[in-house]
Homo-oligomer: A and B are copies of this chain.
């Protein structure tokens, strides 16, 4: 009798596991339960779909359900929501329109993903308040953009003059949250001529990056006519008060009661009331752990499902991978929660390998992330925050340098600003944050620092890395090496 590998959740981690398991074992029974209709989609592409640069949601799907079923022989059951796991009986129970299914498993992978956090404030249920976590969220947002532009079939927009200079600009709209999603959506909305107001609770955008990166990105957002409200916690989303009143935008009313049945009309902070037509909540995600918790599985210190190095949970033969699960930080060796696409793919794939007989760890995570903000690109990896570093037992020292992206005499190019952090005593590289114009390589240059982090290298080793050089690509010392030299000098 062949084993059965059951997977809960049909996105990155789940389908990577299913595909890898099938490649390794053509006999294995592979059953995937997905509560929605979409599988294996690139949620990271949703902002570009809303922006109008991608013309169909289908384009974000890397492998279709039909291909999984027919070409990869995977028993993919969309529209099936798993509602219970019984680790003792080794079964899961799934609900669908066709009734309940009790499915036995030999190996089980929980790949339930993450969900958008909705802040506990009034007005979040008003019409015109959106999140961007799922394909249907993306669809709704794009429909909103098309409606607001009175252009139901809009194609990729030309980025025209900033909205504030247009007679017929649309919006204003609010983005709440200055993380990746918030910034990518600010770009998507501004490109469609919306007047964009971005609210950030903390005192800088991209708080996981260095201050230098945050400042460079904030300055660029302002250049692109995004109005930034930093250190501005949103207290409430207020209703328009008159959803059929064209004056509804004006801050004429002192109402602080939101009208959950109406349309959103303003963002209210401690000091301001900013009239808006739409609100995008980009206030983070949290792991979907209810199913695991109800089954008695251990939840880790980060709030995500606890796993060992092979992504096995506290229940034997039950694995968890992707945005619902913890991972191990390459710098600290401690559990961390980094809900990003590559980790989900890598750990899903490793589980697929493990359950087919080749135990695979799938590697740690360095919290590496990249973002494009209009014409700027930024990346971060490892530990940059001094408090986080100290909590992990390090004595962090950081240096920030700005260097040319290509040889100084080369006719094109710009600046790259690199913040590099190391431990004072050991010299070990802890993390980095980089920012440059889009195309000038901040993101790909971060690959060098990831290499150093994965190896546990010191800043003295990093400064001697034999990185590629030619005038069209960098100065003789790549900006990463310049940062390592300066930080190394500080530590010597």
Contacts and interface: CB of A to CB of B under 8 A. Distances in A.
Contacts of A476: 12, 42, 44, 341-342, 345
Interface string A1-44: 00000000000100000000000000000000000000000101
A291 to B, nearest CB: 25
A416 B60 CA distance: 20
A448 interface: yes
Interface stretch (A89-97, A192-200, A462-470): A462-470
Interface string A468-481: 11111100111011
A404 to B, nearest CB: 11
A361 B464 CA distance: 9
Given A59-B409, A457-B455, A372 B42 contact: no
Contacts of A381: 466, 468
A445 interface: yes
Interface string A324-362: 000000100000000011110110000000000010011
A75 interface: no
Nearest to A434: B468
A9 to B, nearest CB: 16
A341 B478 CA distance: 12
Contact of A341 (B180, B364, B369, B469): B469
A303 interface: no
A414 interface: no
B450 A466 contact: yes
Interface in A275-311: none
A453 B467 CA distance: 11
A318 to B, nearest CB: 22
